[in-house]
Structure 1
Amino acid sequence: MKKKIYYTLVILVLIYGGFSLYYRPYTIADNKMQLEESVVKIINRPVVITDKVEIKQELNLHNKKFVLFSYGNKLANVELIKGINKKYKIEGVELNDNYFQDDIRTTSDGKYLILVGKNYNSKIAYVRVLLDSNEYKINIPQQEYFITYCKVPMETERTFIGVGNLKIYNSQDVDITEEMNKILFK
């Protein structure tokens, strides 16, 4: 009888320990202020870059959250993953000097091409992307900052859009790639 109680206690402690280890990194609630504080902490490692970030756009896509934020006069984005406790942990942060960023990301529902950035003077209506011999047309929201996406096949091997494989168009279907490249990609 004592052995049963002992083994039961050991099993309960192991289960509790397992849950604790799983839940520990998933601490970010679906709360803008807490998210901003968490982003500031992570981007200031190992060198302090900023004491404040401003969230511009958020996209919830299945088990992931993609967030576009600014710090100073720069744009950056962060990818978070949702745990079974409905809280998030940061999977990665991209800091660069561009106003337009692209990535292929995997969620619980498949792969997606994610575009984030600034729609300078709302000139961009859509982009055409060539990715692994498939062409995608992605509408860009007519607002200052955006996060948009389209589903791509799971077999997609590339994780970014290569040079020359992205064309930017205005609302009159005119290719404005060269003009926008000077502004969006510093």
Structure 2
Amino acid sequence: MKRISLGTVIIFMFVILLVITQHFRYPIKSDNSNLKKYILEWSNRHNRNNEIPKKDVQILDWIDFENRRHVSILLDSQLGEVRLIKGINGKYMIESSGHGTGNFRYRVEEGKNEKRFIFAGKNTDLLINKISFILEGEEYTINVPKQEYFMVGFEVNNNIESTFPESETLRFYDDEGKDITFDVERNTLE
């Protein structure tokens, strides 16, 4: 009969512990089928007795970027985003989230080898065809899908240090190339 060394037992126990930890720490399935449940738990985790708990989540779209997933949501009718991180088990956990009354959420996300600009929004009345903005002196243009809610992501200059574009440079255009920024901003405030 062979003897099992103490080192083998320790390695085996470590692997078992790692598998169990990953299972419970990263519970969100890769197809997002159980994501709504975890968003509600996450959103209500600090609720005090006098606050109204979040009740309704609608998953709009998502973009995978390296080991992260950026999810566009409606949380009680407010546009929001949830950032997930992928575990070694292929499942996800919530890393951060945010929501609010605005119609747009955007930022530069940094990966290991590149940076990507993620832009999610509501295209009220489907008027928006393109969005342009300046980020550290470089102009970028986004083609907006003809749908009420959209999410797009694309690579930006890796040397960019800013997380957000200069807000005064954010412009919205219709199908004919007409600047409709004023109309879009007015819709956002209504």
Is TM > 0.5 for Structure 1 vs Structure 2?
A: yes
Cα deviation digits, residues 59-85 of structure 1 (max 9, x gap): 233432221111222111111122222
Shift of 1:21: 3.6
Q: How many residues are paired up? A: 185
Consecutive unaligned residues of structure 1, counting only runs of 5 or more, are: none
C-alpha distance after superposition, 1:83-123 (max 9, x if no partner): 22211111110111111111111245521111101101110
Q: How far, CA to CA, are the matches of 1:57 and 1:142 in structure 2?
A: 14
Gaps of 5+ in 2: none
Could you list the runs of 4 or more consecutive aligned residues of structure 1 that deviate by over 3 angstroms after TM superposition?
A: 18-24
**Residues of 2 paired with 1:49 and 1:168: CA distance?**
35
> Which AA in structure 2 matches 1:44?
N
2:150 counterpart of 1:146: yes
Q: CA deviation at 1:182?
A: 1.9
Indicate the residue corresponding to 1:88 in structure 2. Answer: 92
CA distance in 2, matches of 1:19, 1:57: 29
**RMSD between superposed Cα atoms in Å:** 2.1
| TM-score, scaled relative to structure 2 | 0.87
SS in 1 for 2:184: helix
Residues 85 and 108 of structure 1, relative CA distance in 2, 3 Å threshold: farther
The answer to whether 1:156 aligns with 2:160 is yes
Measure, in 2, the Cα distance between the counterparts of 1:150 and 1:10.
Answer: 45
Query: For residues 110 and 188 of structure 2, what CA distance do their matches in structure 1 show?
Result: 25
List per-residue Cα deviations over 1:127-152 (Å, max 9, x = no partner).
11100111111111110100012211
Q: Quick check: 1:119 aligned with 2:123?
A: yes
The residue type paired with residue 6 of structure 1 is L
Identity across the alignment (%)? 26
Point out the more displaced range, 90-99 or 46-55: 46-55
CA distance in 1, matches of 2:25, 2:163: 26
2:172 corresponds in structure 1 to 168
C-alpha distance in structure 2 between counterparts of 1:22 and 1:115, whole Å = 30
Amino acid at match of 2:86: K
| Equivalent residue number for residue 45 of structure 2 | 45
Q: Say if 1:25 and 1:108 are closer, same or farther in 2 by CA, change over 3 A.
A: farther
2:136/2:165 contact within 8 Å kept: no
